[in-house]
Amino acid sequence: MQSVYQQRRQTLMSRLGKGTAIFASAPLAVMHNDVEYNFRQDSDFYYLTGFDEPGAVAVFAPHHEEHRFVLFVRPKDKDKEIWSGRRLGVDAAKEVLGADAVFPLSELDEKLPEYLKGGDRLYYHFGHDEALNDKLLKHWRRLLASYVKRGTGPVAIEDGKLLLQTQRRVKGPEEIELMRKAIAVSVKAHNYAREIAQPGRYEYEIQAEMEHLFKLAGGDPAYPSIVASGDNACILHYVENNRQMQAGDLLLIDAGGCIDYYNADITRTFPVSGKFSDEQRILYELVLEAQLKAIAEVKPGNPFNAFHDAAVRTITAGLVELGLLVGDIDTLIEEKKHKAFFMHGTGHFLGLDVHDTGVLRNPDKTWKPFEVGNVVTVEPGIYVTPDYEPVEGQPQVDDRWRGIGIRIEDDVLVTDTGCEVLTAGVPKSVADMES
């Protein structure tokens, strides 16, 4: 993989010109007292370095005569490593990670001006590390104050994350392969969940069985698993997962695995008792129709909003036909009346982050087109909350619809000829959901 990271760094530096870019590792986060959460590296930092330790800073200075890629890392420390794990250290980091120079993190303040002064701007994202934010601002201000004497130095600061928006949006072959691995175990987990779900079991039992499969594959949950039965499915980010499932419930499961930092994101909704009620089936078929029409819009050259527009139109028209909305379809869409039942977007980019990076619009506010190598989720839904109150001009909802929440989500790769549904291994037809 080091050749892959090297190519990513070269692509980044080709866009820097004479600028200097700085990316920091993620900080450690305290769970309680002196116990920390499991460390999860910053996605941009990992994308460029493959380095999975806290306490590190990467500097990219293409204008520097010798050191274009510089790392500052934690030095080896036998006592601390006994408590908190092995460190790569300064010497090994240069060889293993392919940096031109590696220094102890403690020397960042001393050596940073050398890599800033030759650049014409600084690229950095001001994140949660206030000490590093202050340090970089201090050096930038000093160099700016002396600019009139030297004629060189960074005269502007730009957000470093924006540099990688376009680059990370298109997935390379190695990224797609890792996502296929994460998706494969996620498909297995969803299919197993459908086998074991039944009235009387608790939501957390299903969660445990699915996340057990993620762990057995060498992975982790990509995000907090949503296992929502009954009207819990109307809560978009329901994570309590503590209800006992009842006969007649739908079970909405939004869960995915993560392998080597790459994520899957799948949602299925099915009847716990094995059969949809009439109302559940009607709304399920409407969501499925919307999803299939949305997936058909995921292809090279199509604007990013096309798949959402297709889903919104299908769901709005269906809700009008059912009498849950009244009015002209175009007007309802323009006034966003569908948001009473379908309140989220149809999808997002997927990759190193579950909601992955990627600029969606051009400067003129037009939508950017899909490109080969994009991976997106396609996840329309309908949610009729138990306490639904109609907005002005819309009808009241009969009790038979209340408490039904349905979402269907697949991960879709944009290809040369259209798209590939990477998560097709999880069935979604009515017949399959009732099998």
Angle between the N-to-C axes of helices 130-145 and 108-116, in degrees from 0 to 180, rounded to the nearest 10: 50
Q: Which residues are catalytic?
A: 34, 237, 254, 265, 344, 348, 355, 379, 383, 407, 409
Q: Report how far apart, in Å, the C-alpha atoms of 399 and of each of 235, 338, 384, 396, 402 are.
A: 18, 19, 10, 9, 5
Which bin fits 43, alpha (ψ -120 to 50), beta or left (φ > 0)? alpha
Contact call for residues 211 and 226 (beta carbons, < 8 A) = no
Give residue 143's Cα distance to chain centre: 37
User: Element (H or E) spanning 124, and its range?
Assistant: strand 122-124
Please provide the size of the chain in residues.
435
Q: What is the largest CA-CA distance in the chain?
A: 78
> CA-CA distance, 408 to 270, in Å (whole number)?
10
DSSP 8-state code for residue 244: B
262: which residues sit within 8 A by CB, 6+ positions away?
175, 178, 179, 181, 182, 351, 352
> CA-CA distance, 406 to 288, in Å (whole number)?
10
Contact call for residues 226 and 219 (beta carbons, < 8 A) = no
- The token pair at 110 is 């001393």
422: which residues sit within 8 A by CB, 6+ positions away?
179, 180, 183, 375, 410, 411, 412, 413
